[in-house]
Homo-oligomer: A and B are copies of this chain.
Amino acid sequence: MYQPMLLGHEQSVTALIDQKAFPSHWHSEIELLYCLSGELQAVVSGVSYPLTPGSLLVIGSAEEHSFPEGQKGARLLLVEMGFSFLGSEFSALAALRFTEPLLSPCQPDSPAAPLLPLLEDLLEWHGKPGPQAIWTCKSILFSLASELFQLPHDIDLPKIRKKRLETQLRCQAVFEYIRMHYRRSLPLEEVANAIGYEKSNFCKLFKRATQTSFHKYLNAYRIGIACRLLESGEGSMKSIGEQVGIPEPKSFSRIFRQVMGVTPTEYRERMTRYE
């Protein structure tokens, strides 16, 4: 039914993507999709919305969404923000049910009009290197988050979203612990103890929150970091494995392949080729 997304480890995500079909899924992060070109049908909480250039889709926290098959696709600015970027105050935003998910920021009378300059600024600064660009993007993202409260909403969150959020909240400590300690060996028991859970309860909680196991999540997190290191072009395979807590080269290669479908060497070659 849905495919989990492993985003708990990211502070925030801003990306330009060419979006085609994607199966139904949810995550605690709030998601904005700003359509730049093309056309795309999106399904949010069972309702279909047509994305066209200039339109903005706002997907609430823990809200199910998908993009049906057989579409040409669209170029989108994607923004995701959750607890790790917005802090504990995010729960106030996560509790909103947006009653008009599809908006037109370019129309001056739209409730989303104040978002337009922020989206335009984000398009300009996104992906640029250097501290100034990074801080400018963060500044824009915090302004965006603050503006989201002004969009049409009510606060009667469906029961299932409430439950998902409760579980996610309890798991934030786990994500933070992984973020702090992924560089070294990290036994499940240690993490469970650190947040005050017994092993078996911990496994149940984690599965409910992420729809995956602790080990799969940890592997995916480590390989995500490894990908960025590989893209930067620096460091040997051995050193990259060590930096993400998988010091044994054979294990690193095997786990990388499990997660990414290609070996680390192939991945690096592809990334270099497309540059």
Which residues from chain A sit less than 8 Å from chain B, CB to CB? 86-87, 89-90, 92-93, 130-132, 134-136, 138-143, 145-146, 149, 176-177, 180
Contact = CB atoms under 8 A, between A and B. Distances in A.
Please give me the 3 A-B residue pairs with the lowest Cβ-Cβ distance, nearest first: A139-B142, A89-B131, A135-B146
B149 A143 contact: no
B180 A131 contact: no
Grouping DSSP codes into helix (H, G, I), strand (E, B) and loop, the A interface class, with mixed when no group exceeds half, is helix
Nearest to A89: B131
A149 B135 CA distance: 11
11 contacts: A87-B134, A89-B134, A89-B135, A132-B146, A132-B149, A135-B143, A135-B145, A136-B142, A136-B143, A139-B142, A177-B180
A153 to B, nearest CB: 13
Give the number of copies in the complex. Answer: 2
Given A131-B145, A135-B145, 19 more contacts: A89-B131, A89-B134, A89-B135, A90-B131, A131-B146, A131-B149, A132-B146, A132-B149, A135-B142, A136-B142, A136-B143, A136-B146, A138-B139, A138-B142, A139-B139, A139-B141, A139-B142, A139-B146, A142-B142
A92 B146 contact: no
A195 B141 CA distance: 32
A181 B141 CA distance: 28
A146 B133 CA distance: 8
A84 to B, nearest CB: 12
A93 B269 CA distance: 34
Contacts of A93: 131
Contact of A139 (B90, B131, B140, B149): B140
B92 A131 contact: yes
B132 A143 contact: no
Contacts of A92: 130-131
Contacts of A139: 138-143, 146
A110 B139 CA distance: 23
Nearest to A86: B135
A90 B132 CA distance: 10
Contacts of A146: 131-132, 135-136, 139
A254 B87 CA distance: 32
Contacts of A131: 86, 89-90, 92-93, 145-146, 149
Nearest to A143: B139
Contacts of A134: 87, 89
Contacts of A135: 86, 89, 142-143, 145-146
